Amino acid sequence: MAAKRTRLELTWIGKDDRPRLEPRILLEDPKLSYHARKRVSDVDLFENLLIHGDNLLALKALEQDFAGMVKCIYIDPPFNTGQAFEHYDDGVEHSLWLDLMSRRVEILSRLLREDGAIFIHLDQEEVHYLKVILDEIMGRKQFLGQIAYERSGVSGIGQGGAFVVNTHEYILAYCKDRAKFAAVDLLGEGELDSKAMKRYNRVLLSPGERIEHARFTAPSTGEPVIIYKHTHPALRTISLRRFDERLQEIEQEYAACFDNIFRLTSIQAENTFQNRILSYCSQGVFSADYLSSRGRKGGEIVTNYYIDGQAAVWLKDTAMLQEGKVVRSSKLSDFWPHSAIPKANLANEGNVDFRRGKKPEFLLRRILQMVTREGDIVLDSFAGSGTTGAVAHKMRRRWIMIELGDHCKSHVVPRLRSVIDGVDTAGISSVSDWKGGGGFRYLRLADSLLDRDKWGNWIVSKEYKPEMLAEAMCKLEGFRYAPDPDVFWIHGHSTETDLIYVTTQNLSHEQLLFISEQVGDEHTLLICCSAFRANPDAFANLTLKKIPQAVLHRCEWGRDDYSLNVNSLPGSEPEADQTDEGSPEDTPAADTTTDDVTSRPARRRGRPRRQSSTMQELPLFANYDQGGDA
């Protein structure tokens, strides 16, 4: 009988079936890893990670090392629309899509920093269902907003339909902890339209010579305010006549004069400080130098201009030059129009073809600007064509990307190589002043630790070398893999005093006694071995576990695919080699042996360990010399 629900939540078929994920180790492929030939700057980043493999298993593999470390997560998962993409099978039954997404979000939430944020890009088909799931996992109070992203205009190709034209996608934004979250930059860019041009159309060609005119002491800082009168200044107005006809010429003039374009504004009556300055600036061009006490330039010496009794406001304070064109910057709203995010050259970004699946670099730039700074870690577990990593790299953020498809090699690797070599000039390269540099490591998921022998028994995979076995057991037991080159029995640690040793040997009493004496009273040691011939209660500082018996029921061994590209929906028959982990042939029968995992006296130091139930004796290694040492 299903458990009684005690809260409002979204349910679906299989929600309560928890996958027992294997925390795989990651193996580097040096042939696909890539680094710049030389350092380009002092902030070059080399420890970026590109992981090829199932993203749920890869996220689990990252959890031990990166839990609580990722500042920003952006994912653009398959939308579950039933449309067949070239690189993604996007049609997944509704309940299955929800289940697979919720499993990923659960791990992603644990990877986030306390002040971090996650952005999930979806269309209208599943966005509201996933919103309820995110409320449940992240917490409803952590909801930052829903952004409507206009991917194209109404006149775009392929926008037909029986109802209103669908032009939008949605980005759900959540933080890890609202009390600790703070946005970094919420200014966005947009076109400099004719209305803004009519306001900002005056140019200070030359300030002329300035002569001190007056001074007084600022009451808020106690520092002097020095006012200067300018002689022989040069000003002009940009003509906006025949605006539509001359638009290209006008835009070029605005770009050429960008630093010196301004408008005039009146000072509010209650601003006594600025009005005191204006009292000295009735006719002509004036400027005032003073220490700013507040705002973005608080603590800096600023120079403000005043012309004919009004204050000058500079276009450069609310706009920027972007690829030779002036764009406005203003506080972002939750509607991001088609015109605000350049995508005219989207097909050529990264020099990779990823039809209908590639997102504009300027979209990712906007998201990363909102919540990250240089050096922060950015993660994308649906890498696609690699846009997130390319943008993060150009913005000098660390990044981690995961991709299951073959395009991890065919698309993402070449794209990142061109970014690192500095030959990628598309996307945000210009506005980021990107010159190349840095690098990444290409990793893949190791095979499952356990495999079946010809009799159907679980054994340690023959693919596992001793150092791989040691690292895998460290991860399974919650230890950090850090082998000591000088001490053979130290393969990792959970604390400074709690250590682990992994070996394929059948250990005798004499060997265990020797190790116990080496460990001493100040440390505790978990030994994972094939077998032992001793009374374990004799060693107060040792815990003994047999492998693979001690881990048989920890995980779903041998399962490599938890992807969203699902061919078998609920109700279809499993293949012969994909039987359920709870079936009788997968569950070894218990016997009366008691020495595969041993308890120890209460005086043992270190954290408590979970005790495994007794298991039947199984073969350990395929094609392995059991006398060898790990």
- Say whether pLDDT at 546 is over 60: yes
pLDDT band at 3 (very low <50, low <70, confident <90, very high): low
Sequence-ordered list of residues with C-beta below 8 angstroms from that of 439, at least 6 positions apart, any chain: 33, 34, 35, 36, 44, 45, 46, 48, 420
- Say whether pLDDT at 27 is over 50: yes
Amino acid identity of residue 288, one-letter, is: A
Would residue 139 be called left, alpha or beta, if left means φ above 0 and alpha means ψ between -120 and 50 degrees? left
Phi then psi dihedrals of residue 60, to 5 deg: -65, -40
Check: CB of residue 409 under 8 Å from CB of residue 58. Answer: no
Alpha carbons 148 and 363: distance in angstroms, whole number: 12
Question: pLDDT at position 165, please?
Answer: 84
3-state secondary structure of 410: helix
Q: Tell me the pTM.
A: 0.74
The β-bridge partners of 168 are 150
The β-bridge partners of 88 are none
Report residue 489 as tokens.
Answer: 């029995």
Alpha carbons 182 and 608: distance in angstroms, whole number: 38
Complete DSSP assignment for 453-508: -TTS-EEE-TT--HHHHHHHHHHHHT-EE---SS-TT-SEESSSSEEEEE-SSEEE
Sequence-ordered list of residues with C-beta below 8 angstroms from that of 92, at least 6 positions apart, any chain: 78, 80, 100, 564, 565, 566
pLDDT band at 322 (very low <50, low <70, confident <90, very high): confident
Question: pLDDT at position 581, please?
Answer: 38
pLDDT band at 574 (very low <50, low <70, confident <90, very high): very low
Question: pLDDT at position 57, please?
Answer: 95
Question: pLDDT at position 383, please?
Answer: 92
The β-bridge partners of 544 are 527
- Say whether pLDDT at 217 is over 90: yes
Alpha carbons 402 and 444: distance in angstroms, whole number: 9
pLDDT digits (tens, 9 = 90+) for 354-389: 666 678 999 999 999 999 999 999 999 999 889 999
Give the up-direction half-sphere exposure of residue 299: CA atoms within 13 A in the CB hemisphere: 1
* Termini Cα distance of the chain: 46
pLDDT digits (tens, 9 = 90+) for 302-312: 999 999 999 99
Check: CB of residue 319 under 8 Å from CB of residue 328. Answer: yes
Phi then psi dihedrals of residue 513, to 5 deg: -65, -45
- Say whether pLDDT at 238 is over 80: yes
pLDDT digits (tens, 9 = 90+) for 174-204: 999 999 999 998 877 767 777 788 889 999 9
| Mean pLDDT on 507-529 | 94
| Mean pLDDT on 572-583 | 40
Question: pLDDT at position 597, please?
Answer: 42
Sequence-ordered list of residues with C-beta below 8 angstroms from that of 56, at least 6 positions apart, any chain: 19, 21, 100, 103, 104, 107, 562, 563
pLDDT digits (tens, 9 = 90+) for 582-607: 333 343 333 333 334 444 433 344 34
DSSP-based helix, strand, coil % in the chain, nearest 5: 25, 25, 50
- Say whether pLDDT at 518 is over 90: yes
Q: How far is CA 104 from CA 66, 216, 221, 381, in A?
A: 15, 62, 53, 9
Question: pLDDT at position 198, please?
Answer: 84
| Mean pLDDT on 448-453 | 93
CATH of span 450-552: 3.40.1350
Share of the chain above pLDDT 70, in %: 83
Q: Which sequence spans correspond to the domains of the chain?
A: 26-186+332-445, 191-319, 450-552
Alpha carbons 141 and 177: distance in angstroms, whole number: 9
Sign of CA dihedral 416, 420, 422, 427: positive
CB-neighbour burial class of residue 461 (10 A; exposed 0-12, middle 13-18, buried 19+): buried
Question: pLDDT at position 608, please?
Answer: 41
Of 41, 71, 74, nearest in space to 433 by CA:
41
Burial 598-629 (b: 16+ CB within 10 A, else e): bebeeebebeebeebeebeebebbeebeeeee
Residue 69: which H helix or E strand, with range? Answer: none
CB-neighbour burial class of residue 276 (10 A; exposed 0-12, middle 13-18, buried 19+): middle
Place of tokens 């520092």: 223
What is the chain's mean pLDDT, rounded?
A: 83
Question: pLDDT at position 243, please?
Answer: 85
Architecture per CATH, domain 26-186+332-445, reads as 3-Layer(aba) Sandwich (3.40)
Of 111, 50, 65, 154, nearest in space to 410 by CA:
50
Query: Hey, how many other C-beta atoms are within 10 angstroms of the C-beta on 38?
Result: 8
Question: pLDDT at position 92, please?
Answer: 52
Question: pLDDT at position 94, please?
Answer: 75
| Mean pLDDT on 246-258 | 90
- Say whether pLDDT at 511 is over 50: yes
Question: pLDDT at position 405, please?
Answer: 83
Helices 94-111 and 127-134: crossing angle in degrees, nearest 10, is: 40
pLDDT digits (tens, 9 = 90+) for 14-26: 788 888 999 999 9
- Say whether pLDDT at 345 is over 50: yes
Question: pLDDT at position 324, please?
Answer: 77
Helices 94-111 and 55-66: crossing angle in degrees, nearest 10, is: 20
3-state secondary structure of 187: strand
Alpha carbons 22 and 59: distance in angstroms, whole number: 11
| Mean pLDDT on 57-84 | 86
| Mean pLDDT on 284-299 | 86
Report residue 357 as tokens.
Answer: 């699946």
| Mean pLDDT on 502-511 | 93
Sign of CA dihedral 177, 178, 183, 189: positive
pLDDT band at 118 (very low <50, low <70, confident <90, very high): very high
Alpha carbons 315 and 202: distance in angstroms, whole number: 10
- Say whether pLDDT at 109 is over 90: yes
- Say whether pLDDT at 83 is over 70: no
Strand spans (E) along 284-391: 285-291, 301-307, 310-314, 319-322, 325-331, 335-336, 377-380
Residue 366: which H helix or E strand, with range? Answer: helix 361-371
Sequence-ordered list of residues with C-beta below 8 angstroms from that of 118, at least 6 positions apart, any chain: 72, 73, 74, 75, 105, 108, 109, 112, 138, 173, 174, 175, 176
Sequence-ordered list of residues with C-beta below 8 angstroms from that of 213, at least 6 positions apart, any chain: 227, 228, 229, 280, 286
Share of the chain above pLDDT 90, in %: 57
Residue 114: which H helix or E strand, with range? Answer: strand 112-122
> Cis omega before residue 548 (within 30°)?
yes
3-state secondary structure of 139: helix
Alpha carbons 149 and 334: distance in angstroms, whole number: 8
Check: CB of residue 196 under 8 Å from CB of residue 243. Answer: no
- Say whether pLDDT at 2 is over 70: no
pLDDT band at 251 (very low <50, low <70, confident <90, very high): confident
Alpha carbons 294 and 302: distance in angstroms, whole number: 11
Question: pLDDT at position 573, please?
Answer: 42
Which alpha helices (H) appear in 31-162, and where do they start and end?
Answer: 55-66, 94-111, 127-134
